[in-house]
Amino acid sequence: MTIELLYFAWVRERIGKASETVSPPADVATVADLIDWLARDSAVHAAAFVDRGRLRAAVDQTFVPLDAPLGSAREVAIFPPVTGG
Amino acid sequence: MTIELLYFAWVRERIGKASETVSPPADVATVADLIDWLARDSAVHAAAFVDRGRLRAAVDQTFVPLDAPLGSAREVAIFPPVTGG
Amino acid sequence: MIAVTVSPAVIDAGVEFAAISMTGAGGIATFVGLVRGDDGVATLALEHYPGATEAALEALAEQSVARWELIGARITHRVGDMHPGEIVVFVGTAARHRGAALEACAFLIDRLKTEAPFWKKETRGDQTSWVEPRGSDDAAAARWKA
Amino acid sequence: MIAVTVSPAVIDAGVEFAAISMTGAGGIATFVGLVRGDDGVATLALEHYPGATEAALEALAEQSVARWELIGARITHRVGDMHPGEIVVFVGTAARHRGAALEACAFLIDRLKTEAPFWKKETRGDQTSWVEPRGSDDAAAARWKA
């Protein structure tokens, strides 16, 4: 499975890039699994994701809770709570 | 007592003038008394005031119910319910 | 900043908006009532009670500023003859936060409809009639009783 | 008529108002959020999620049109760097009756604040910080649950 990851706001700044393409193993089933997997091998990701309660996500541009299944997601975005308007 | 009467909207149209100056007798104590007194001697006023429930009034530019006292009013306005905005 | 104007001059929404937004506030809410183009009215004539109208609008504006801690309130109401698509009334409120601006704007237009001495006469073809008050306006105004 | 725009272009309230008022509706409600001039922010930077933002705003506009039988809904949101007094967002609603326009306008700005993927970063002097979400925004959005 190949996923295009997008980061926004301070998540983007802490990770140091706006996007990256990853291929997680099959046991990465939810957004939360994906975050754990990214944090496992990268101190930068681990630091950006340290406070899970402040993270929000979208799968293929639909907002989802972190325990949502990835399914056959092509695009996953991880970002802080929104503050527009 | 001399009172400047002002009429607006269809009250003005039915009476045929926008204002008139009247000197009612001392027993004309309220706005309703004033309306009754005006209607007593004038068929035109009687016709304009026939449906009291559709009349509103202001005494010296303050909106009042028809049973409000005239006191030492200098200006009394009689008009339909407002429909602005 | 309270600004109340009652005049036969054409109302320019851009000019009105610029005036209320000059307050440095974070949120501006406006309501604009126009002569509707969809119900056959060719001319709308607005009559008012000079002096009493301005006093009523200023009293409403002052109430709104006090109740919602507004930075500004602006009411501009046209009188005389007007035509479809033209602005009858502009209400603008400026506040630090959007909830205050939006609520105060709704308050002002609701109360203006029942408390300010304006009367509307519509001409459709060769028929002319005074607009009847609506019970829904009284209900809308009543919900703001403090 | 639904119109949603997300762009770095400066927002002109007069142009926006003219667009939403061209619907022939009797009532136009608008809310405009500006960069506040009173709390020391020199630059406000708006980041967004291209594609998802427009979809979220269009979904909100469609909900508002269906729920309040609007004649038109217009949302114009700026992104990129902006300065005090400049417009961040314009929301305009057009309806036959004022209550619908006013409520729908409040709905759109409340929900936009919590559902559209925008993020604000403020620069004050040489300090830059991301704006934290406010609980009051969640509460404002929640009151519109059907």
Residues of chain B with pLDDT under 50: none
CA distance C19 to C28: 11
pLDDT classification of C146: cutoffs 50, 70, 90: low
Average pLDDT (C100-106) is: 96
Contacts A6 to D, Cβ<8 Å: 49
Contact between chain B and chain A (3 or more Cβ pairs less than 8 Å apart) = no
Q: Is the pLDDT of residue D126 over 70?
A: yes
User: Chains near A, with 3+ CB pairs < 8 A?
Assistant: D
Cβ–Cβ of A84/D77 closer than 8 Å? yes
Chain D residues contacting A, CB < 8 Å? 33, 46-49, 51-52, 55, 77, 88-89, 109, 112-121, 130-133
Instruction: With CA atoms as reference, report the closest residue to D87 among C42, C30, B32, A81.
Output: C30
pLDDT at C39: 79
pLDDT at C88: 96
Compare CB distances from C13 to D14, D26, D85 and report the shortest one's residue. D14
* Chain C CB within 8 Å of residue D84 CB: yes
Q: Is the pLDDT of residue C138 over 90?
A: no
Compare CB distances from B9 to C109, C115, C119 and report the shortest one's residue. C119
As for how many domains chain D has, the answer is 1
Q: Is the pLDDT of residue C93 over 90?
A: yes
Give me chain C's average pLDDT, please: 94
Q: Is the pLDDT of residue A1 over 90?
A: no
- What is the least distance, in Å, from the CA of C38 to any CA of chain D? 7
Cβ–Cβ of D49/A6 closer than 8 Å? yes
Count helices and strands in chain A by DSSP H and E runs: 3, 5
* Chain D CB within 8 Å of residue A80 CB: yes
Range of the domain at C23: 2-142
Cβ–Cβ of D119/A58 closer than 8 Å? no
pLDDT at C25: 86
pLDDT at B77: 98
Q: What is the pLDDT of residues D27-56, one digit of tens each?
A: 999 999 999 877 889 999 999 999 999 999
Contacts C33 to D, Cβ<8 Å: 26-27, 98
Q: What is the pLDDT of residues A16-36, one digit of tens each?
A: 999 999 999 999 999 999 999
Q: What is the pLDDT of residues C30-62, one digit of tens each?
A: 999 999 877 789 999 999 999 999 999 999 999
Domains of chain A: 3-79 (3.10.20.30)
CB D10 within 8 A of CB D61: no
Q: What is the pLDDT of residues D71-124, one digit of tens each?
A: 999 999 999 999 999 999 999 999 998 999 999 999 999 999 999 999 999 999
Chain C residues contacting B, CB < 8 Å? 33, 46-49, 51-52, 55, 77, 88-89, 109, 112-121, 130-133
β pairing state of C72-78 and C2-7: parallel
β pairing state of D72-78 and D2-7: parallel
Structure tokens of A46? 């681990």
One-character DSSP codes across chain C: -EEEEEESSPP-HHHHHHHHHTT--SEEEEEEEE--SSS--SEEEEEE-TTHHHHHHHHHHHHHHHHHT-SEEEEEEE-EEE-TTSEEEEEEEEESSHHHHHHHHHHHHHHHHHHS-EEEEEEETTEEEEPPP-HHHHHHHHTT--
pLDDT at D146: 67
User: Torsion over CA of A11, D138, D64 and C21, rounded to 10 degrees?
Assistant: -90
Structure tokens of A61? 């541009």
What CATH number did the domain enclosing D25 receive?
3.90.1170.40
pLDDT at C106: 96
Which amino acid is it at A68? Answer: A
**What ipTM, to 2 d.p.?**
0.90
